[in-house]
Structure 1
């Protein structure tokens, strides 16, 4: 995959690990303005990659999981259930 400069490539997917401080909605909009989305973790291997990438950092990160539509019912930003 060809990824934008500064993004990480893993298993043909592009990842932008942003340290900009934003709330979840602003982070989601920022991703969408870059023709991307907050991460949807579909496999343990992908989760392990993300953990290794951010584990030594002090920042907090948003993922694409929300219960905004219905409290306690978690869905990924693509509409799939967690």
Structure 2
């Protein structure tokens, strides 16, 4: 959930509206990241300071299995779907 300090009323509305759906439902999300913040996030990830938590990775062909894992619950981290482009990795 994101809270946009520049749009306080809208952010509060999203937070309140999202509570109607319960804890395990997808919440409303509105984001407007600034270039500088994304650059900082990239830097922290690249240097290893920030590491995403990945539960499992699935190839695109197994996307249905990835959805079933999410629906079943108990996922601890992100579900990653890998896509092969046919180009060699750099």
TM over 0.5: no
Give the TM-score normalised by the residue count of structure 2.
0.19
Q: Determine which structure has more spread, i.e. the larger CA radius of gyration.
A: 2
Which structure carries more helix by proportion? 2
